[in-house]
């Protein structure tokens, strides 16, 4: 008896998004919708569709800061900092409510050794969205490196209040003791 041939996995289905109630959507709206679905479902086909749509919106000048921050995230995930960083900077200069841009720019500043810049950006991000545990841990690390151990401890303790299971916060707190 011959064994059954292996079954190839089905290709990832591409989500087909359509506007409700017959409304039309702009390419920017559709790009954002696909970006959200792609990130939620971790579907590479939707991710590529979102990325291409966001690039087109940026090239056509129809991408606003919300769309550009998603495009920057896709570039950063692809480790293409040459494209991601200018987009984050553009977003932050246009819209100081885009906390994801501030958080990412803080990370870039920290990587470049600009502690003061990283601290400022992470504080700005947390003022807009205080629930970002990893940003709190990053800020605590920067504060510690900047010689502010008491502020670092307070920040990491708040991170643990928000997420007691955070391994990054637990690790940093153990180093602060």
The two tokens of residue 58 are 């940026």
pLDDT category, 21, cuts 50, 70, 90?
A: confident
Asked whether 118 and 142 are in contact (CB, 8 A), the reply is: yes
pLDDT category, 9, cuts 50, 70, 90?
A: very low
pTM of the model: 0.84
């Amino acid at each position: 008896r011959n064994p059954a041939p292996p079954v190839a996995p089905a290709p990832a289905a591409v989500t087909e998004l359509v506007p409700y109630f017959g409304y039309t959507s702009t390419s920017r709206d559709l790009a954002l919708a696909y970006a959200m679905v792609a990130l939620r479902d971790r579907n590479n086909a939707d991710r590529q569709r979102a990325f291409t749509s966001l690039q087109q919106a940026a090239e056509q000048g129809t991408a606003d800061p919300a769309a550009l921050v998603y495009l920057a995230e896709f570039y950063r995930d692809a480790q293409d900092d040459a494209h991601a960083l200018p987009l984050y900077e553009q977003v932050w200069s246009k819209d100081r409510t885009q906390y994801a841009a501030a958080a990412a720019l803080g990370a870039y500043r920290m990587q470049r050794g600009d502690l003061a810049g990283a601290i400022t950006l992470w504080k700005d991000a947390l003022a807009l969205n205080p629930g970002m545990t990893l940003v709190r841990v990053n800020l605590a690390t920067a504060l510690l490196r900047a010689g502010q151990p008491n502020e670092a401890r307070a920040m990491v303790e708040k991170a643990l209040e928000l997420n007691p299971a955070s391994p990054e916060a637990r690790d940093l707190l153990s180093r602060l003791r």
